[in-house]
Structure 1
Amino acid sequence: MTILISGDKMTIDKILLDHGSGGKLSHKLISEILVPIFDNPILSSMDDGAVFEIPKGKMAFSTDTYVVDPIFFPGGDIGELAVNGTVNDIAMCGASPVYLSAGLIIEEGFSIHDLEKILKTMEKAARKAKVYIVTGDTKVVPKGAADKIFINTSGIGMIYDKADTASSNAKPGDKIIISGTMADHGITILTQREGMKFDTSIKSDTAPLNHVVKNMLTDYPQAVHVLRDPTRGGVGTALNEIAESSKAGIKIYEQRLPVKKEVAGICELLGFDPLYIANEGKFIAVVSPDMADQVLKLIHEDEYGRDACIIGQVTDDHPGRVFMETSIGGTRIVDMLTGEQLPRIC
């Protein structure tokens, strides 16, 4: 650790336990680093909570905690992941995210330079999603009591008029759209964590999905029956949850599943099924069959939906189950993931 003293100013390059004590160093951490980065009128009051006005209507609320390892990876870092993850959870509820909170649990000795880098990517992600981080908390734990930094983000949003995207809404005949390629995030984290070197440009797909969801629910609110983001457990688990909730069957086609060649190759090499690998910038939409092509075209217009495609449909067969027509013409059940293939991927 380096401590530089110049006049009344003290510069510390590592997080100390005192940064979480509620005293002078805590105040400096908040007022000199956190607040300037996330600066907005609500946060800058530095009260115990955020006070704001909201329009009348239904609201969505979500919270999640991010413990990804490693904290920096191709395509993003833990801060960007935390903001996008909660933004997307709210969007999947059929809502426009508005405000987020951010809670930091930091290990003693963590680099302040790395902390500032993470906070800046959080601010950049929030700006891109057009949301505000308006309140938060910081705790520092002793060396070894955490792994570098954990982040909790919570958020609220306003439900779009006529939007209803619950999993129970899937109906036989509905088409199933995925907004892009599968397994990019999980394979990126795995290869980085294990130090695997491949001659590829694989990177995380972490991204805000609220803008494309807004377009869908503005133009086709009654055509979009279900929205889910296939994070932990991947597409296979998310589809099983939809089938179970709606008490309908879901049929998907192996040849239609979008997987990048390099991701497919690594999955085959390591024995992983891309259906069960986490995604952080993709969504599943279950839409009415008569509007599926229009919704798909709209998704294609968004920068994060260019690889979107229809991968299957909801059926009367096998209620509550997911089954797949394989590339050789057979059929197999796609069960829910048992256990955790890749821990600490978000």
Structure 2
Amino acid sequence: MEDKISLSHGSGGKQTNDLISNLFIKYFDNEIIRQMNDSAQLYLNNNRIAFTTDSFVVTPAFFKGGDIGKLAVCGTVNDLAMSGAKPLYLTSAFIIEEGYPIENLETIVKSMAEMAERAGVKIVAGDTKVVEKGGVDGLFINTSGIGTIYEGINIEANKAEAGDVVIVNGTLGDHGMTIMCERSGIDIQGELKSDCAPLNSLVDSILDICKDVHVLRDATRGGVAAVLNEIAETSRVSIELEEDSIPISEEVKGACELLGLDPLYIANEGKLCCFVPEKYAHKVLEQMRNHPLGTKAEIIGKVVAEVSQRVYLKTIIGGRRIVDMPSGQQLPRIC
């Protein structure tokens, strides 16, 4: 490991995974944390529950399509939903810089309340700390969440199998590029805005018609590239993507070309990757497209039986290139 923490350790890519594996799991190691799911899957009085925690440090705190409060609720709800759980209760803790405007704080708290109601969860506990000027950049939020896992559902990061089809519920990179453009003062023509949304109702609709979902992951830090590499490694499979099937908006394409970025590595806050057996793929795809958060869903690839545990992209011109785990820091503090 490196001697000091850098921004790349929070990027969701290779350095983040190294930090988790070589430090946190080294000391916290147990059979639950070793599963490396978005939520811990636990048994409590013979009931299966999902439990998760997350922190949000995005800058700017207000952006097109949302704010740090909306992001905090959606991110935690989504982590629970990716375990096949019904999100029920959240906690929220605020670390606030001295001098922060009360008006901004009220806007953020109101946004959290609205998102909690939309997602069908209750915020039931919390904590507030105020630090000296310069001790934190405005406002940081930590949220934890708990939910009950639906009966008969067994979704984990290590369940991907050869033959599974990979589906995403819409265009990629919208959140990350929105933050990048707002932070840099880049004005992109069109409707570029964050895709931040609670995905639990979409997951419920998928599970209504297909109980045999193998893996669900929301593609946040590190984008689809990071998520798929994690799944390939954990499930000991390879994943082959079709470049011409990956949905990307014209605004994101334009911004990525301008900045020299790859949309597969850009963060999302309202997009998931769903792994299902091929026989259910088109049924699940149709169900996604009938949901407001999945109208632009597409099948983007499949799981193949290769020992390399790699992610490949079949290009439009017929070649094939490796999509590696992201390394370094493309876009700091997007969540």
**Alignment TM-score, normalising by the size of structure 1:** 0.83
Residue 236 of structure 1: which of 225, 237, 241 is its match?
Answer: 225
The equivalent residue for 2:241 is 252
Q: Secondary structure at the match of 2:214?
A: strand
Q: Deviations over 1:79-137 (max 9, x none)?
A: 00000000000000111100000000010101101110000000000000000000000
The equivalent residue for 1:221 is 211
The equivalent residue for 1:112 is 102
Conservation of the 8 A alpha-carbon contact between 1:243 and 1:319:
no
Distance 2:75 2:234 in 1: 23
Q: Where do residues 127-146 of structure 1 align in structure 2 (5 Å cutoff)?
A: 127-146=117-136
The equivalent residue for 1:74 is 64
Conservation of the 8 A alpha-carbon contact between 2:189 and 2:251:
no
Q: Secondary structure at the match of 2:308?
A: coil
Distance 1:71 1:202 in 2: 17
The equivalent residue for 1:282 is 271
The equivalent residue for 1:23 is none
Q: Secondary structure at the match of 1:304?
A: coil
Q: Where do residues 19-58 of structure 1 align in structure 2 (5 Å cutoff)?
A: 57-58=47-48
Residue 203 of structure 1: which of 185, 188, 193 is its match?
Answer: 193
**What amino acid maps onto 1:92 in structure 2?**
M
Q: Which runs of 5+ in 1 are unaligned?
A: 1-53
The equivalent residue for 1:162 is 152
Identify if the C-alpha distance between structure 1 residues 318 and 266 changes in structure 2 by more than 3 Å, giving closer, same or farther: farther
Distance 1:130 1:122 in 2: 12
Q: Aligned pair 1:271/2:260, yes or no? A: yes
Distance 2:275 2:147 in 1: 21
**Alignment TM-score, normalising by the size of structure 2:** 0.86
Q: How many residues align?
A: 292
**What amino acid maps onto 1:122 in structure 2?**
M
Distance 1:213 1:56 in 2: 24
* Structure 1 position 318, deviation (Å): 5.0
* Consecutive aligned runs of 4 or more in structure 1 exceeding 4 Å deviation: none
* Structure 1 position 217, deviation (Å): 1.8
The equivalent residue for 1:309 is 298
Q: Secondary structure at the match of 1:336?
A: coil
* Structure 1 position 213, deviation (Å): 0.6
Distance 1:114 1:98 in 2: 27
Q: Deviations over 1:49-72 (max 9, x none)?
A: xxxxx9962000000000000000
Distance 1:137 1:296 in 2: 41
The equivalent residue for 2:26 is none
* Structure 1 position 281, deviation (Å): 0.2
Q: Secondary structure at the match of 1:281?
A: coil
Cα RMSD after superposing both structures: 1.1
Q: Secondary structure at the match of 1:190?
A: helix
Q: Deviations over 1:171-224 (max 9, x none)?
A: 1111000111000000000000111122222100000000111122232112x1
Q: Aligned pair 1:59/2:49, yes or no? A: yes
Conservation of the 8 A alpha-carbon contact between 1:104 and 1:138:
yes
Distance 1:344 1:61 in 2: 24
Q: Secondary structure at the match of 1:292?
A: helix
Q: Secondary structure at the match of 2:108?
A: helix
**What amino acid maps onto 2:177 in structure 1?**
I
Conservation of the 8 A alpha-carbon contact between 1:63 and 1:153:
yes
Q: RCO higher in 1 or 2 (8 Å CA, sep ≥ 6)?
A: 2
Higher Cα radius of gyration = 1
**What amino acid maps onto 2:236 in structure 1?**
K
Q: Secondary structure at the match of 1:68?
A: coil
Distance 1:176 1:152 in 2: 31
